[in-house]
Structure 1
């Protein structure tokens, strides 16, 4: 089932299929405890996969990123698919430092195999601390611990066409589209997680955590609090307006969120010719082509081994066809990430099974470090950085209410890729 009117980007993702593995393939993906990395022989096979590239650009209209438009986006706040049954508790914070995680990006990736995945979105969050990311990268080498300690978390949400949040009709693709329900109130500081805590004074401002309440208080809510407590506005104003408040993007007090972008999709095959890469797409780049090339080349100097240099050269050659890409999507049987370097790649045994249905996880997409340049992240030792983040999801996209946590594998530089 297609959502007519959503544009080519959704149609492309809706056209992706999950191919059922036959008996022979099932034997091939059996866990091998002695496997130290993905087979290099599979690299040529991955070259043949149909990959969809994600590019980001400033949205022409703010309403295009609201949840009723089913967007793919990066930065800002998430456009939650299920606006009521949001992740809560410890799933919302970094397991290393306890800080609430920040929204990185979301990918609208419906699957046509069953009605329950008519709408389907994957959300990626991460801690802002590079120290936590380093710890996360080491923790993932502990094969399937009872309690994971992660600073990068992925959530999957899916809905059937007939649901209580959206019309079964395709969106008009303009400002007239409205959700059926207002959704749960969100944190006034981060605009990301459910605001299930009230300001004890005004009883109006909501927060996802005590930390964000303190940060909001210090940033100016202390002065606003008395006015809010005397105002007739209530904490249930969203519900009273029948969802009208949800038509506009939420106001967020935090100044540390990453800038918000809309994500557009294009098939990698469109960049196979030099003409398409050089003439059609360069003008839309937010980063000068020569700056991207210089940065990619400078990273080569950080690799000591010839194997990593060769792997990086191959990676750069393929990425260089469209250097502005920030995401590579390919959810098909046997698909694999395009690894920048040899070290730090997971073996089949390193990828856990689904924590909900016990089935296999499959690779779905990877996030490239170019995204950090769009976000204005500084290039220093303390700033966030990665070689790639590969996201694995339940192969069956198992059903359930709300959000299910999936698995992300972080590949960093060669000096920190081996488990301690």
Structure 2
């Protein structure tokens, strides 16, 4: 059974706005501390990755939530502006992490997707840690970026009716030409040889030319007389592609409770008999261990979850450790309207396992990535509005 991001029981997340509408308002908490595990638990929608049964379900006209591979741009023409696609530290194009389809009830947010990109370099992420603590800088340098895109029901890219769930839904408009190496960013640079293959940057052109097995050096002359170049990303360094499916955390709570009553416990007794509260009290004075214990207790319901989402105004992120959590002033205002940003979802480190990221000194790693978005989901002038991600590392020793 699948659930949409608002908890409605439907057959597919992709057609949720066509089936029903719900009033959703996001507001920040009034406290300086963004999270407190002792507060009343707010229902969350959990995201899980799985290989798509049908490849077409990840195409943009089916409004997917997906991780890895290349993004399914909601607005396929007006992509993020130049240089916003680069890591602000090394200058390389950012790599697509995941996207969440999260429509809201307003007319201009009938379709709404959030896209997360990051530099795969851990060295850049460590530099990013210092930058995210800067309040109100003239320019914030980041290696992790989030973009919000939204469209009304009537638009030039998609039908106003629910898409055909058989793979036959057409694209009403061709998208912008994309980089033939990463399949992610707009291909503004054209190969001088074949004049057909496009790139988003000189670095990706060089990578394509030198790649083993996929080298454009070999195929360039063949494409000079070809009708068109391949539309698929040639890079073999992209993260594996998955579909994101959803389930309500409260459903898991109910299932676990019923199972404990009938078949014995699969989790520590401290949680079942109520002494978990005592365990947390015993850890007072060590905030990081206390946060970690609570994090583990919540995650144990579904250890393979990679995403936690809520549109509830009172929802808060689940922090693995206490140190390195932001306070309200650390979350910048919306770049477009100047309004407050609120928590919407977080990405968990389990995703790194599915991306086959191996442990190593220089390997990419994080404790959680928390995404804050404009509470008003403002329209603005740009198709893709940049939002804010707060990254917490397992060790906060790098924090300034």
Shorter chain as normaliser: what TM range?
A: 0.7 to 0.9
Displacement of 1:142 after TM fit?
0.6
Q: How does 1:84-123 map to 2 (within 5 A)?
A: 84-112=77-105, 114-123=106-115
Contact kept? 1:277, 1:321, Cα under 8 Å: no
- Rounded to whole Å, the distance in 2 between the matches of 1:417 and 1:16 is 42
Output one character per residue of 1:186-209: Cα deviation in whole Å (capped at 9) or x when no partner. 000000000111001110000000
**Aligned counterpart in structure 2 of residue 311 of structure 1, from 291, 295, 299:** 291
The equivalent of 2:66 in structure 1 is: 73
2:311 alignment partner, SS class:
coil
The 1:364–1:277 alpha-carbon spacing in structure 2 relative to 1, beyond 3 Å, is farther
> Among 233, 238, 243, which residue is 1:257 paired with?
238
Q: What is the alpha-carbon distance in structure 1 between the residues aligned to residue 62 and residue 34 of structure 2?
A: 38
Matched, 1:55 2:36: no
Q: CA deviation at 1:418?
A: 3.4
After superposition, what is the alpha-carbon deviation per residue over 1:326-364, rounded to whole angstroms, capped at 9, x for unaligned?
A: 000012213210111100000001001001001000100
State the 1:273 CA deviation. 3.7
Q: Which residue of the other structure, out of 330, 336, 342, is the alignment partner of 2:316?
A: 336
- TM-fit CA distance, 1:18: 2.9
CA RMSD of aligned residues (A): 2.6
How much has 1:7 moved relative to structure 2?
A: 2.7
Contact 1:311 1:342 survives alignment (8 Å): yes
1:390 maps to what in 2?
A: 370
Report the counterpart of residue 32 of structure 1 in structure 2. none
Residue 164 of structure 2 corresponds to residue 156 of structure 1: no
Call closer, same or farther: CA 1:104–1:20 in 2, change over 3 Å.
closer
- The equivalent of 2:275 in structure 1 is none
Residue 414 (structure 1) shift: 3.2
Structure 1 residue aligned with 2:34: 38
CA contact (8 A) 1:99 1:127 kept: yes
Gaps of 5+ in 1: 30-34, 236-244, 280-288, 290-304
Question: CA separation in 2, counterparts of 1:56 and 1:87?
Answer: 26
Query: In structure 2, do the counterparts of structure 1 residues 371 and 276 end up closer, same or farther at CA, with 3 Å as the change threshold?
Result: farther
Could you tell me which runs of 5 or more consecutive residues in structure 2 were left unpaired when the two chains were aligned: 261-266, 268-284
Deviation string 1:262-288 (CA, Å, 9 cap, x unpaired) is 000110001114548989xxxxxxxxx
Shift of residue 38 of structure 1? 3.2
Counterpart among 370, 375, 386 of residue 405 in structure 1: 386
The one of 266, 271, 295 equivalent to 2:252 is: 271
Match of 1:217 in 2: 209
Q: How far has the Cα of 1:403 moved from its partner?
A: 0.4
TM normalised by structure 2 equals 0.86
Alpha carbons of 1:10 and 1:417: their partners in 2 closer, same or farther (altered >3 Å)? farther
Distance 1:166 1:138, change over 3 A: same
Show the 5 A alignment for 1:142-153: 142-153=134-145
TM-score for the superposition, normalised by structure 1: 0.82
1:357 equivalent to 2:337? Answer yes
Match of 2:84, SS state, is helix
Give the distance between the partners of 2:190 and 2:108, measured in 1 at CA.
Answer: 35
Distance 1:84 1:307, change over 3 A: same
Give the number of equivalent residue pairs.
366
In structure 2, which of residues 126, 131, 137 is the aligned counterpart of residue 139 of structure 1? 131
Query: In the alignment, is the contact (CA less than 8 A) between 1:6 and 1:171 conserved in 2?
Result: no
| Secondary structure of the corresponding residue to residue 269 of structure 1 | helix
Q: CA deviation at 1:20?
A: 6.9
What is the CA distance between 1:78 and its match in structure 2? Answer: 0.2
Is the contact between residue 340 and residue 375 of structure 2 (CA under 8 Å) also seen in structure 1? yes
Other structure's SS at 1:333 match: coil
CA contact 1:17–1:332 (8 Å) conserved in 2: no
Partner of 1:227: 222
2:182 aligned residue: 190
Could you tell me whether the CA contact under 8 Å between 2:129 and 2:399 is conserved in 1?
no
